[in-house]
Chain A
Amino acid sequence: MILLWLILIPFIGGLLCWQTERFGIKPPRVIALVTMLLELAIAIGLWWHGDYGLADTIGDTPNWVLEYQLPWIERFGISFHLGLDGLSLIMILLTGFLGVLAVTCSWAEIDRRVGFFHLNLLWIIGAVVGIFLAIDLFLFFFFWEMMLVPMYFLIALWGHSGSKGNSRVGAAMKFFIYTQASGLLMLVAILGLVFAHFLQAGVFTFDYSVLRTTTLSEPVAMLLMLGFFIAFAVKLPVVPLHGWLPDAHAQAPTAGSVDLAGILLKTAAYGMLRFMMPMFPEAAMQFAPVAMALGLIGIFYGAVMAFSQTDVKRLIACSSISHMGFVLIGIFSNTLISLQGVVALMVAHAFSSAGLFIVSGQLYERLGTRDMREMGGLFGKVGALPGFAMVFVMASLGMPGTANFIGEFLILFGAFEVVPWVVVVASIGLVLAAVYSLILMQRIYFGPAKIDRAYSGLDTREFLMLLTLFVLTIALGFFPQLVLDVSEHAMTEVVTWVSAATNSSTL
């Protein structure tokens, strides 16, 4: 029941925000904040009381800590089936936390149509929580598509008007069409899987645990796996399918970028870990070389693109492409260490990119531009902002002591025993990360000053937001076990299932 509330609370809160807009600008903001704090509190409560440790045996069905099931569409054996394990818990904690940040960082930025804005913001969060909890494939798809609409509105209505023919409506449309079209491919793949199961067992079901054990012929499995992979690859994003990301990020309001980079991208990695790998282990492993090549391309392409950007937010967006390349390599190497690294990197990237986006949002509020050519020499002129920026830039380039280092290190370490050469090449990508990150610092905060005036420093709200992110980044850099312990069992399950399937097929 608590799982159902996790989904319902943001939706209800969103409606309240919309309706209280008539009482002024303040109530929607407060309600949104309270809603997100409640969501976060429930998630923390679940973390505190649940036992996510490594169980002794790895069964055929995942070891759900909490489960909730309601019949829904009996005709096709679809049920409203939610399940929570360590992996989903981490994602939900992240969602709740970034939700709070998204609300607070738009406190001053959004001043028109506040109620409707928060409706959209909270519905994104609700749908994303749904994605992380759904273990019925229909329900998963349902939420997967549902989050697009509010995100579309967020970018299209409150986005920054772009430069040179990049309108925010265009960016929003691109985002929507990319994701929706690839999502439909996933729907076809899901239906293919359901009918494959129907032909064997004679019943319709969309249940995760049941479908996972369907035996598929090799070409069918490969096709279905590709259907899932393309949908997730668009969202992650993997390089040839990344076209929507820089535009969407650059045009979105700060809260939108925080959500987009912090949690929407993570839904793709989550989908791969939860659905694609366990359901099509052999096909995924056959596909691994291609996926890793795509990951490598992403690492370098993203880094080079980031280096050549002049727009701060586009730079951060491109750096996300680079980081997600590591995630892709980690997922497809399928060792426990690399998968744990993926989880750590997802969390770390959410913190660091959210931090960077918030910093650039605050710069924009002060300077009125995101163009780095018009900045320079800002150190000492915007209060504590450059200091925080420095921390998040260091985190983003993977400096030891930050959570990102743990993630990247574990991924490379875990992948080394499987694909040493890929790891060697990917490590070079880390150097490029240092280059574009330092360029970002250099262009904005150091160098010759373009503007010779001081701006207001950080107020308490801004300071607290950045401070929390800072503390979390460092804390997870020193105590990564906080995250890794929670996800260990879920990741062990994935590794066990995949290696069981691949071993049995080679023998």
Chain B
Amino acid sequence: MNLTFSHLIALLPLMLVCVTVVIVMLTVAWRRSHFVSATLTVIGLNAALASLILVGQVAPIQVTPLVMIDHYSILYMAMILIAALACSTLAYAYLETLPDQRDEFYMLLGCSVAGGLLLVSSQHLTSLFIGLELMSLPLYGMAAYAFKERLSLEAGIKYMVLSAMASAFLLFGMALLYAESGTLSFTGLGASLANDALHSNWVVAGVGLMVVGLGFKVSVAPFHLWTPDVYEGAPAPVSAFLATVSKIAVFAVLMRLFSLAPATGDGWLHTVIALMALLSMVVGNLLALMQKNLKRIIGYSSIAHLGYLLTALVASDGLALEAAAIYLATYVATTLGAFGVITLVSSPYKGSDAGLLYHYRGLFWRRPYLTAVLTVMMLSLAGIPMTAGFIGKFYIFTVGVESELWWLVGGVVLGSALGLYYYLRVMVTLYLKSADEPERDAPNDWAQQVGGLMVLLLAALVFLIGVYPQPLIDLVQMAGIQMPT
């Protein structure tokens, strides 16, 4: 296969991000400056984002059998890049006073984003694995970036050990599938699996192992144990990155895998995923009820939200693709906003993050606008109208009703009711009178900093999507999955 100019254009975002990483590395070798590294990274990510317009002209296009750049991947690339931009602006405020080298963070972030970009456009198990590892490996370093804090180091190591384990499961599963079907491309697998004669125990084992591996990466129950610990321990901007970029990328490739290689046969895989979804909704929400740490609460709630999202995966027809994209977009905006506020309150770096709910007691009377942002985010996570979360939840209900997945719909209702309890608890804490001077507080000029602006922008976005979602829906509807040629 010849690489033509349009193939190069299609790969432009990926290349731009990689080039950014290299440039940052060279600059650091020449002279260290936190400001320069951060600026270069932001410029690079923005350039990649802008290049998506060019990519849109040549899409859909297949670049080698591994990668398919279609509108579906462009949509998710855009989401990843925007989330990464938000994370790097948040990280800038946070890292400013970190008593250590700060520039390497941006290289790790760039590498991870490159992995995510590859992941959302992969249509082959090879590129899936490369993308997944490229995305995960830098994350170990990022989670442990404030490694003088015990919790951060613990988070990094915990994530590394468990993630490596999951990768091993994934690889073994792929190997078994390859042994049975002789191909690694999604469509090839689909065609081979559709032939029932080939449904041997090896295929079942292979698919099962892959479910374990991918289930770990998106942190659905019962593979969720790492989530709250890592979310709590990692620096807040990293938790934001983990909760958004890595979730978007893995879920996007999962959706593609599912639509190109649908699980046929007696549908046991659907049952398994449906059970995992139900379990995630219940477990995530139940465990979040009694938490005292906001970061852990968001960690557990992310498990529940992934459970809701799996409903779309189980349905995997009709509105499912659209619903998944909308839900991810709304969830990502919301989570970024929530972690953004946590970051701002914990910035600049002063030891472990301000995660405890008690740090936020009476925040409203000191920082009304910041509190308004966090309130909007909590309401959005709870799925209350006038916020983006409601539109996401509406889509999930719509898909559930459309595909008549009554158990899952019931699960979402139950989960939402449970979830309200802790979202409201967080919310009311913000408005209660605080007894004494706060230990941690956002800097007085938080709203003038890039991180602050980003958070305000996200709040506006969450509100706008909640009130007028049509533009987002239009955007998402253009993003269909292209069959490989």
A75 with B397, Cβ < 8 A, contacts A145-B390, A173-B424, A177-B421 known = no
- Looking at A49-57, A182-190, A443-451, A468-476, the stretch in contact with chain B turns out to be A182-190
* B431 interface residue (CB < 8 Å to A): yes
- Contact A180:B420 (CB < 8 A) given known A142-B385, A157-B431, A195-B402: yes
The reply on A169 being an interface residue by CB < 8 A is yes
Q: How far is the CA of A187 from the CA of B477 in the complex (A)?
A: 23
Instruction: Mark the stretch among A146-154, A253-261, A422-430 that contacts chain B.
Output: A146-154
How far does the alpha carbon of A169 sit from the alpha carbon of B412 in the complex, in Å? 25
Residues of A within 8 A of B477 (CB): 75
Given contacts A153-B431, A192-B401, contact A187 B385 (CB under 8 A): no
Shortest CB–CB separation between residue B207 and chain A, in angstroms? 31
Q: Tell whether, in the assembled complex, residue A177 and residue B417 are in contact, meaning their CB atoms are under 8 Å apart.
A: yes
**Contact between B397 and A146, CB atoms less than 8 A apart:** no
Q: How long is the Cα–Cα vector from A73 to B398 in the complex, in angstroms?
A: 14
* Distance (whole angstroms) from the CB of A92 to the closest CB of chain B: 20
1/0 per residue, CB under 8 A from B, across A137-170: the answer is 0000111011011001100110000000000010
Picked from A72, A173, A181, the residue with its CB within 8 Å of the CB of B416 is: A181
Known: A149-B384, A184-B417, A185-B413. A195 touches B424 (CB 8 A): no
Is B428 interfacial (CB 8 A cutoff)? yes
Q: Is the CB of A188 within 8 A of B401?
A: yes
A83 to B286, CA, bound (A): 42
B457 at the A interface (CB under 8 A): no
Are the CB atoms of A156 and B428 closer together than 8 Å? yes
Q: A364 within 8 Å of B by Cβ?
A: no
Does A379 reach chain B (CB closer than 8 Å)? no
Is A172 an interface residue, CB under 8 A from the partner? yes
A68 at the binding interface (Cβ < 8 Å)? no
A169 to B432 CA separation, bound complex (whole angstroms): 10
- CB neighbours of B384 from chain A (8 A): 145-146, 148-149, 180
**Bound CA span A195–B409, Å:** 15
Residues from chain A with a CB closer than 8 A to the CB of B400 are 188
A157, A172, A187: the one contacting B397 at CB < 8 Å is A187
Instruction: Check B147 for interface membership: any CB of A closer than 8 A.
Output: no
Interface residues of B in 19-78 (CB under 8 A from A): none
User: Which of chain B's residues have a CB closer than 8 A to the CB of A107?
Assistant: none
A53 to B: closest C-beta gap in Å: 35
Interface residues of B in 357-403 (CB under 8 A from A): 379, 384-386, 390, 394, 397-398, 400-402
**B417→A146 contact, CB < 8 A:** no
Given A173-B424, A195-B401: A180 and B470 within 8 A (CB)?
A: no
A153 to B372, CA, bound (A): 13
How many Å from the CB of A80 to the closest CB on chain B? Answer: 10
Whether A173 contacts B421 by the Cβ 8 Å rule is: yes
Q: Which of B390, B402, B412, B424 contacts A152 (CB 8 A)?
A: B424
CA distance A76 to B390 in the complex (A): 15
Cα distance A73–B413 in the bound complex, in angstroms: 23
Q: Any chain A CB within 8 A of the CB of B484? A: no
- Looking at the assembled complex, report how far the CB atom of B392 sits from the nearest CB atom of chain A, in whole angstroms: 13
Interface residues of B in 263-322 (CB under 8 A from A): none
- Knowing A75-B477, A156-B428, A188-B397, the reply to whether A181 touches B385 (Cβ < 8 A) is no
Q: How many A-B residue pairs have CB under 8 A?
A: 73
List of A residues within 8 angstroms of B421 by Cβ? 173, 177
- Interface membership of A459, Cβ < 8 A: no
Cα(A191)–Cα(B428), bound, Å: 31
A76 to B417, CA, bound (A): 25
Q: How far is the CB of A190 from the nearest CB of chain B, in Å?
A: 9
Q: Are B424 and A176 in contact (CB under 8 A)?
A: yes
Given A72-B468, A169-B428, the answer on whether A180 and B385 have CB atoms closer than 8 Å is: no
Task: Provide the bound-state CA to CA distance between A237 and B401, in Å.
Answer: 27
B15 at the A interface (CB under 8 A): no
Q: Please, how many angstroms separate the alpha-carbon atoms of A153 and B432 in the complex?
A: 11
Say if the beta carbon of A74 comes within 8 Å of chain B.
yes
- Determine the distance from Cα of A74 to Cα of B468 in the docked complex, in whole angstroms: 10
**From DSSP, what is the main secondary structure of chain B's interface residues?**
helix
A187 & B420 in contact (Cβ 8 Å cutoff): no
Q: How many of chain A's residues touch chain B, expressed as a range?
A: 20 to 34
A72-B470, A73-B470, A185-B413 given; A146·B386 CB < 8 A: yes
Selected contact of A184 from candidates B402, B413, B469, CB within 8 Å: B413
Bound-complex Cα distance A187 to B468 (A): 19
Among candidates B386, B413, B417, residue contacting A188 with C-beta atoms closer than 8 Å: B413
Distance between Cα atoms of A97 and B420 in the complex (Å): 32
Min CB distance A117 to B, Å, is 11
Interface string of A315-348 (1 = CB under 8 A from B): 0000000000000000000000000000000000
CB of B473 within 8 A of chain A? yes
Chain B residue nearest to A143 in the complex (CB): B385
Q: How far is the CA of A391 from the CA of B409 in the complex (A)?
A: 49
Check A172 against B428 for contact (C-beta < 8 Å): yes
Tell which of B385, B413, B432 has the most Cβ of chain A within 10 Å.
Answer: B385
Pick from A176, A185, A195 the residue with the most CB of B within 10 Å.
Answer: A176
Contact A184 B416, beta carbon cutoff 8 Å: yes
What's the least CB distance linking B390 to chain A, in Å?
A: 7
A149 touches B379 (CB 8 A): yes
Identity of the chain B residue whose Cβ is nearest the Cβ of A138 in the assembled complex: B394
Cα separation A90 to B199 with both chains bound (whole Å): 66
User: Roughly how many angstroms separate A142 CA and B384 CA in the complex, as a whole number?
Assistant: 8
CB distance from A198 to the nearest CB of B (A): 9
Q: Mark B402-438, 1 if CB is under 8 A from A, else 0.
A: 1000000100111011001100110010011000000
CA distance A148 to B397 in the complex (A): 20
Contact flag A180-B401 (CB < 8 Å), given A74-B470, A156-B428 = no
Tell me if B470 and A75 are in contact (CB < 8 A). Answer: yes
Q: A73, B420: Cβ atoms under 8 Å?
A: no
CB distance from B160 to the nearest CB of A (A): 39
CB distance from A405 to the nearest CB of B (A): 39
Also in contact, A191 and B470, with CB within 8 A (given A169-B428, A181-B416, A185-B413): no
Residue of A nearest to B413 (CB): A184
Distance of A279 Cα from B409 Cα, bound (Å):
23
Report the bound CA distance from A149 to B372 in whole Å. 13
**In the complex, what residue of chain B is closest to A141 when comparing beta carbons?**
B385
Once the chains are docked, how many angstroms separate the CA of A149 from the CA of B383? 12
Give Cα distance in the complex from A152 to B474, angstroms. 34
Residues of B within 8 A of A156 (CB): 428, 431
Enumerate chain B residues within 8 angstroms of A73, measured Cβ to Cβ: 468-470, 473
**Chain A residues whose C-beta falls within 8 Å of the C-beta of B425 in the assembled complex:** 173
A187 and B409 CA atoms in complex are apart in Å by 11
A498 to chain B minimum Cβ distance, whole angstroms, is: 26
Residue on B with the closest CB to A181? B417
**Which residue of B is nearest A148, CB measured?**
B384
Within 8 A of A (CB), among B438-470: 468-470
| Cα–Cα, bound, A143→B384 (Å) | 10
Q: Are B413 and A177 in contact (CB under 8 A)?
A: no
Q: Which chain A residues (109-161) contact chain B, with CB distance < 8 Å?
A: 141-143, 145-146, 148-149, 152-153, 156-157
A-B contact pairs, 8 of them (CB 8 A): A72-B468, A145-B385, A173-B425, A185-B413, A188-B400, A188-B413, A191-B397, A195-B402
Instruction: Contacts A142-B385, A157-B432, A188-B400 known; list 13 others, CB within 8 Å.
Output: A73-B473, A75-B473, A76-B398, A141-B385, A142-B390, A152-B424, A173-B424, A176-B424, A181-B413, A184-B412, A184-B417, A192-B401, A195-B401
Which 6 residue pairs spanning A and B have beta carbons closest together? A181-B417, A191-B401, A142-B385, A184-B413, A75-B473, A145-B385
Interface, chain B (partner A; CB < 8 A): 379, 384-386, 390, 394, 397-398, 400-402, 409, 412-414, 416-417, 420-421, 424-425, 428, 431-432, 468-470, 473-474, 477
